[in-house]
A and B are shown apart, each in its own frame.
Chain A
Amino acid sequence: MFDSPFHYKYTREDKIKISKQRLIQTTKLSQTKKTLKTTDKIIKLQKKLKQKKFLVEKPGEVNLNLIGGAVTYFVEASGFNTVFKMKTLNASSLIEINCTKKSSVNINQQFSGFSSVNFNVEKNAELELNIQLKSKQQALLNITGVNKGVLKIFISNLAAGSHSDVLFNVENHGFASVSLKSVVFKTLSVKGVDNLKGSGVGETTIKTLLLNASSNVNILPSASIQNSSQYYSHSASVEKINDEQLFYLQTRTLKKKEAEKIIWQSFLKKSEIK
């Protein structure tokens, strides 16, 4: 079925689409324990999980659609200008990402439970996380890692029910930027800590778009600066859906919901994001 160079036995739950690229997968539990810096809760959860590792070796583009239960993924992108696009639809998952050199990793994830992303973004590398929180109860996302390049986090909080939490704790090694953009249907809370180490310029931008009158967002960013030669800037903003844009799109025959979707998707994609 798959004429691929994978050293990996596919399970029935996985639906994998691969283009152009060579991936190597291993399943060593010992690696998981070494690399994950997580809470006890995650470690307990981890024991029940399968582990999968994907290593991107050559330039090109990789597309993976992974559908399954609770799974741990390791993504290592070390190729020149490699774009790794992964889409996961798991209830809960742990994702370990290593971006080195000029690689670029793009993770698309939809989840409704608990998820943790642990990353390492080297200088000149870029990591993009596109996350959809879909829980009607509570979705929790924990983002932890070391950042020397560009980290972009896009969150679509589309849960019609209750609450979604995002925690991020970034070790920022100068000349690095963290930007977080989110659209909020109901309630989203973001707590972030930037731990600045080494010298350079650190930057954190948080932008939020509220989708309706009852949307609610709590943002609590903080920074820990440990070096006197470090420059750091931080900004946070909350916007509402722009009525003029909504009206314009509606006069062009688009239904209100379609128009709203276009507006929030454009908010997430807007070129002003660094």
Chain B
Amino acid sequence: MLELKNVSVSIKNKVLLENISMKIKKGEIHFLMGPNGSGKSSLAMAIAGKKEYLLKGEVILENEKINNLPPDERARKGLFIGFQNPVEIPGVNYETFLNKISKKPVEKTILKIIKNRSLNEGFSGGEKKKLEIAQMTLLNPKIAILDEPDSGLDVDSIKKISTIISKQSKNTGFLIITHYDKLLKFLKPDFTHVIINGKIKTGGYELAKKIQEKGFKGFD
């Protein structure tokens, strides 16, 4: 389980988010929504331990406070971040990289896509997103935070990753950042969190549906 207790996030003395609290349990799917620039990705990066972000409050993973640990230790304890724009690392063979980090053999369908390619280099936006999901299944995390896994994907691909996420949720709790409603067609969130003006409002599936119909108006 991942628990955020009164988390505030700031960057260069500018406060982005205040008093964010939530609990994500194994098997649960949470949506994190909000308009552009509301701080959704900043929250994900701060939880992952990116050094530019100053995080106050507590991030607790499986009863252990992790917010003072380096990013790699957080990852080894079972936290996964799916990036919105995965960085390209030319020269690093994708297959070698996956074999290094993976707990299980890499599937042949993935090997076919990444054969003789460098890590994230030259892939389309959609391919990168699908490969992030593939990395997630290989790492089999306790908690996965996916930053806009649906952007850049066609309808069939969204359906496909939704199926993978549903299947993986047996072992994993999900926090999925999205500001599109496409995912809602295929995934039903147990909880929906909306960030507006640095503050959070939490509800269930109905909240996501309401946003889908009316947008973010009325949340201020």
> Roughly how many angstroms separate A256 CA and B72 CA in the complex, as a whole number?
7
Tell whether, in the assembled complex, residue A248 and residue B86 are in contact, meaning their CB atoms are under 8 Å apart. yes
Tell whether, in the assembled complex, residue B91 and residue A267 are in contact, meaning their CB atoms are under 8 Å apart. yes
CB contact under 8 A between A272 and B90, given known A252-B101, A256-B72, A259-B72: yes
Tell whether, in the assembled complex, residue A250 and residue B70 are in contact, meaning their CB atoms are under 8 Å apart. yes
Flag whether B19 is at the interface (Cβ < 8 A): no
A245 contacts which chain B residues (CB < 8 A)? 87, 89
Tell whether, in the assembled complex, residue B72 and residue A244 are in contact, meaning their CB atoms are under 8 Å apart. no
The minimal Cβ–Cβ distance linking A219 to chain B, given in whole angstroms, is 21
> Roughly how many angstroms separate A263 CA and B92 CA in the complex, as a whole number?
8
- Name B32-88 residues within 8 Å CB distance of A: 48-51, 70-72, 74-76, 80-81, 83, 86-87
Flag whether A220 is at the interface (Cβ < 8 A): no
- Name B102-143 residues within 8 Å CB distance of A: 118, 135, 139
A253 contacts which chain B residues (CB < 8 A)? 72, 75-76, 101, 139
A262 contacts which chain B residues (CB < 8 A)? 89, 92, 97
> Roughly how many angstroms separate A272 CA and B88 CA in the complex, as a whole number?
14
B101 contacts which chain A residues (CB < 8 A)? 252-254
B87 contacts which chain A residues (CB < 8 A)? 242, 244-245, 248
Tell whether, in the assembled complex, residue A254 and residue B86 are in contact, meaning their CB atoms are under 8 Å apart. no
B71 contacts which chain A residues (CB < 8 A)? 247, 250-251
Closest to A249 in B: B89
A271 contacts which chain B residues (CB < 8 A)? 90-91, 118
Flag whether A229 is at the interface (Cβ < 8 A): no
> Roughly how many angstroms separate A108 CA and B74 CA in the complex, as a whole number?
37
The minimal Cβ–Cβ distance linking B37 to chain A, given in whole angstroms, is 20
Interface size class of A (residues with CB under 8 A): 20 to 34
Give the interface SS of chain B, mostly helix, strand, loop or mixed: mixed
Tell whether, in the assembled complex, residue B72 and residue A270 are in contact, meaning their CB atoms are under 8 Å apart. no
B118 contacts which chain A residues (CB < 8 A)? 266, 271
Tell whether, in the assembled complex, residue B75 and residue A252 are in contact, meaning their CB atoms are under 8 Å apart. yes
Q: Choose one: B48, B51, B92; the contact of A251 (CB below 8 Å).
A: B48
Interface size class of B (residues with CB under 8 A): 20 to 34
The minimal Cβ–Cβ distance linking A178 to chain B, given in whole angstroms, is 20
Total CB contacts across the A-B interface at under 8 A: 65
User: What sequence of 0s and 1s flags, for each residue 233-252 of chain A, a beta carbon within 8 Å of any chain B beta carbon?
Assistant: 00000000011110111111
CB contact under 8 A between A251 and B81, given known A256-B72, A259-B72: yes
Flag whether B14 is at the interface (Cβ < 8 A): no
Give the interface SS of chain A, mostly helix, strand, loop or mixed: helix
The minimal Cβ–Cβ distance linking A237 to chain B, given in whole angstroms, is 15
> Roughly how many angstroms separate A249 CA and B76 CA in the complex, as a whole number?
12
Flag whether B210 is at the interface (Cβ < 8 A): no
B83 contacts which chain A residues (CB < 8 A)? 248
Flag whether B100 is at the interface (Cβ < 8 A): yes
Flag whether A50 is at the interface (Cβ < 8 A): no
> Roughly how many angstroms separate A267 CA and B50 CA in the complex, as a whole number?
23
Flag whether A255 is at the interface (Cβ < 8 A): yes
Tell whether, in the assembled complex, residue B92 and residue A266 are in contact, meaning their CB atoms are under 8 Å apart. yes
Tell whether, in the assembled complex, residue A254 and residue B90 are in contact, meaning their CB atoms are under 8 Å apart. no
Tell whether, in the assembled complex, residue B91 and residue A270 are in contact, meaning their CB atoms are under 8 Å apart. yes
The minimal Cβ–Cβ distance linking A157 to chain B, given in whole angstroms, is 18
B89 contacts which chain A residues (CB < 8 A)? 245, 248-249, 262-263, 266
The minimal Cβ–Cβ distance linking B197 to chain A, given in whole angstroms, is 27
B139 contacts which chain A residues (CB < 8 A)? 252-253
> Roughly how many angstroms separate A244 CA and B83 CA in the complex, as a whole number?
11
Task: Spell out B's residues near A (CB within 8 Å).
Answer: 48-51, 70-72, 74-76, 80-81, 83, 86-87, 89-92, 97, 100-101, 118, 135, 139
Q: List 16 A-B contacts (CB under 8 A).
A: A248-B87, A250-B70, A250-B71, A252-B75, A252-B97, A254-B72, A254-B100, A255-B72, A262-B97, A263-B89, A263-B92, A266-B90, A266-B118, A270-B91, A271-B90, A271-B91
